[in-house]
A = this chain, B = another copy of it.
């Protein structure tokens, strides 16, 4: 049976401003290594998908050029361009429907493209277990074993203590909890982090969409019909414009009677801030993550990101600086202490209010 990887590569991404922009969201950045996170995600699952022809990438139309540049080996027709952003349910359903037209039993793994995984092989083991579960006709997800009472993620509750590396039934999905609930979840040992990864047979997801999200089912009907007539592309704009703006979790997953989860432990991070980027980036003996061109004198634990396009020899010189994030682009510079990384939003908000063109 064929296995497709569907990489979700939309997103606006303001948490990594000024590196991330409307036209360069987080997955296109090389925050934690030499590669963009999108390319790293694709290469991580290539051994399972069996080659680039089975890799699909879904993203907004405005990201076409940058996405093709980031994935030079991706076949042209494998880039699914959403005319308008409509969250994850419409684009995953569209991809599943396309695959189902010719290969309804094919397995699909829908994965975020802007997460970091430390142990690729452990990740693939977990993915293989999730695909094995999906092959039985049960939509399956991966739940990351929580390491802290994080309030920024959704949780997945399982019936008992989760088994190691095999699928177990999901009891319920839980939205981002408050601190007390999060602590109780971690304490109980029955909750996993929802990392937004979904595994299914193409036909099963299409059926689930038709059953639980009829408005989206109608979109799939339109697109199937257009495809039969040989012009799916022309129908896309109207179809997406009419599609419900909803995540697959909320629109479909939470409504399914049976859904399985495979617990995973592979050094996962959603890379949610500059702080996380520093945590994950290769660092020198003084804790600095900085380009080789930098001059660091009595500098410790800093993150320097240099995306300037100007002269090939350039430098950033830091003297006596500790724990700072310094991000350089042609038109913007960000400087803040690592522990205040969340406040980047404040800057983005100020720029938006001022109508300044430093976000695109």
Contact = CB atoms under 8 A, between A and B. Distances in A.
A335 interface: yes
A333 B351 contact: no
Interface string A38-80: 0000000000000000000000000000000000000000000
- Interface size for chain A: under 10, 10 to 19, 20 to 34, or 35 or more residues? 35 or more
Nearest to A339: B320
A336 B319 contact: yes
Contacts of A318: 335-336
Given A310-B310, A320-B340, A343-B320, A333 B350 contact: no
A350 B295 contact: yes
Interface in A222-263: none
Chain A interface mostly: mixed
A335 B334 CA distance: 12
Given A295-B347, A297-B343, A297-B346, A337 B313 contact: no
Given A320-B336, A343-B297, A330 B351 contact: no
This chain: copies in complex: 2
Contacts of A333: 315-317, 326, 328, 333
Given A321-B336, A336-B320, A343-B320, A315 B331 contact: yes
A97 interface: no
B332 A314 contact: yes
Contact of A334 (B308, B317, B346, B350): B317
A351 B315 CA distance: 9
Given A311-B331, A358-B313, A358-B314, A347 B319 contact: yes
Contacts of A321: 324, 335-337
Contacts of A347: 295, 297, 317, 319
* Listed residue (A313, A317, A331, A337) with the most chain B CB atoms within 10 angstroms of its CB: A317
Interface of A: 18, 295, 297, 308, 310-311, 313-321, 324, 326, 328, 330-337, 340, 343-344, 346-347, 350-351, 356-358
Given A319-B340, A320-B343, 4 more contacts: A311-B331, A318-B336, A319-B334, A321-B335
